[in-house]
């Protein structure tokens, strides 16, 4: 690895890119601003992960029976979002309580009111994040 190991044209500034976004989509995360000299890189949940979370939360019929696997998927989607927005972490506990102690993912159960409220809060949060420029 010498001084010629990196090509000069790979060093990009915002003037070279213009209005184009430089985004790397990597295992559910978007890393923006990589390689730009005068822009600090930012990390956020990828568009695909946000859309999957939105679909999962909107497809749950909270008045019916829900499988443990569906609840685990909801909790996983919520957890990824709390890494970016930590104040939403308090709304995850009720999801985890609903499937605590179950070993079989196919078990169906009715949701208690705190979990239903939690699902509605996450729906609002994800939709708002998408409308506010996240997507």
Q: Both tokens of residue 13?
A: 């500034």
pLDDT, residue 18, reads 53
Question: Where exactly are the structural domains of the chain?
Answer: 8-44, 46-134
User: Under CATH, which architecture does the 46-134 domain have?
Assistant: 2-Layer Sandwich (3.30)
Predicted confidence (pLDDT) per residue in 47-96, tens digit:
888 888 899 999 999 888 999 999 999 998 888 888 888 888 888 888 88
Do you know the residue count of the chain?
Answer: 135
Predicted confidence (pLDDT) per residue in 11-34, tens digit:
433 344 455 567 777 777 787 776
Higher local confidence (pLDDT), 108 or 133? 108
């Amino acid at each position: 690895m010498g001084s010629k190991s990196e090509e000069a044209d790979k060093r990009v500034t915002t003037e070279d890119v213009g209005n184009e976004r430089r985004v790397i989509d990597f295992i559910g995360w978007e890393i923006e601003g990589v390689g730009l000299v005068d822009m600090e890189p930012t990390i956020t949940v990828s568009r695909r992960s946000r859309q999957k979370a939105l679909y999962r939360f909107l497809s749950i019929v909270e008045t019916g029976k829900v499988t443990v696997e569906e609840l685990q998927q909801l909790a996983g989607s919520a957890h990824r979002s709390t890494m970016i927005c930590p104040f939403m972490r308090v709304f995850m506990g009720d999801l985890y309580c609903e499937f605590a102690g179950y070993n079989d993912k196919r078990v169906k159960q009715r949701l208690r009111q705190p979990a239903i409220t939690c699902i509605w809060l996450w729906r609002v949060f994800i939709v708002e994040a998408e409308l506010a420029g996240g997507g």
